[in-house]
Amino acid sequence: QVQLMQSGPEVRKPGASMKVSCRTSGYAFTDYAIAWVRQAPGQGLEWMGWISAYNGNTDYGQNFRGRVTMTTDTSTSTGYMELRSLRSDDTAMYYCARVPRNGNWFDPWGQGTLVTVSS
Amino acid sequence: QSVLAQPPSTSGTPGQRVTISCSGSGSNIAEWPVHWYQQLPGTAPKLLIYTNNQRPSGVPDRFSGSKSGTSASLAISGLQSEDEADYYCAAWDDSLNGLVFGGGTRLTVL
C-alpha cells in the first residue's frame, strides 16, 4: 500500500534550519509530486508548496519563498523540505503528502513531524 | 482570516445530516476544483472528497461534496460518532498563486 513515512521530531533554536524527510513506498515515485503542509498548534492547515518528483519543478507558497527548499531523491523515493531562519512561530506539525500529476489534492499524507523552535 | 471561509464549528446528533460550507471568490472556488479533508483528533488529515464531488475509494457514500459558483459544501448523512473531527476545504487561488485551505470546521456529534 502507499505509505509516506516522515522523519522524527526536531527541536531547533531561532535562526537555525530544519530539514524533514518523507520516505515513500508502494507507488511509482516519479509519477507524482510531494506537497508540504504545516499546522501550528491548535491552528488550521497551511500549504507550503510542492515539488514534482518527475522533473524537480517546485512551487512555493508566498509565505515561504526565499526561506524554503524542497528536493527529492529518486534513488530512495524520498522527499525533503528544508526551512531556514526559523522563528518561534514556525513551531508546528509538518506534513508531507502525495499529489497526482492531474490534480492538486493530497492523498495520502505522512504521519507528521513535530518541529519545535525555542531558545 | 482564511481566503476560504468555513464556520468554526457545527454539531449534530447521530443519524442526522449536517452540511459544512466553504465560501470563496472568483479567484479560487469559482475557477478551481474544491477538495475536502477530514482530520480526526491527533491524526494526520485524510482526503475525503476531491474535485468537488469525487470520493476516494474507501470513503463511505455518507460523505458528499458539491460546488456552485463561489461556494462549496460538504454533506455528511447518517452522522456517526466517529465523524467527530475537523474538516477543511481547499482550492487553488489565482490571486495568491497558491493553494489555500479553509480555516476548518470542528464537527461535534452530540
Task: Report pLDDT digits (tens) over B21-77.
Answer: 999 999 999 999 999 999 999 999 999 999 999 999 999 999 999 999 999 999 999
In this complex, the residue of A44, A105, A111 whose CB is nearest that of residue B44 is A111
SS3 A23: strand
What's the start-to-end Cα distance of chain B, in Å?
28
* Contact (CB<8Å) B98/A62: yes
Peptide bond into A108 cis (omega under 30): yes
Q: Cα torsion at A113, A14, A62, A6 (round to 10°)?
A: -10
What was the pLDDT predicted at B70?
A: 98
Residue B1 above 90 pLDDT?
no
Q: Which cell is B29 given?
A: 472556488
Q: Cα torsion at A43, A47, A48, A54 (round to 10°)?
A: 150
Task: Report pLDDT digits (tens) over A30-42.
Answer: 999 999 999 999 9
Interface of B with A (CB under 8 A): 2, 33, 35, 37, 44-47, 50-51, 56, 88, 90, 92, 96-104
Beta bridge partners of B93: B98
Question: How far does B14 lie from chain A, in Å, by closest CA?
Answer: 26
Task: Report pLDDT digits (tens) over A3-52.
Answer: 999 999 999 999 999 999 999 999 999 999 999 999 999 999 999 999 99
% of chain A exceeding 70 in pLDDT: 100
**Contacting residues of A for B5, CB less than 8 Å apart:** none
Peptide bond into A100 cis (omega under 30): no
Task: Report pLDDT digits (tens) over A78-105.
Answer: 999 999 999 999 999 999 999 999 899 9
* Contact (CB<8Å) B104/A44: yes
**Contacting residues of B for A37, CB less than 8 Å apart:** 45, 101
What was the pLDDT predicted at B16?
A: 97
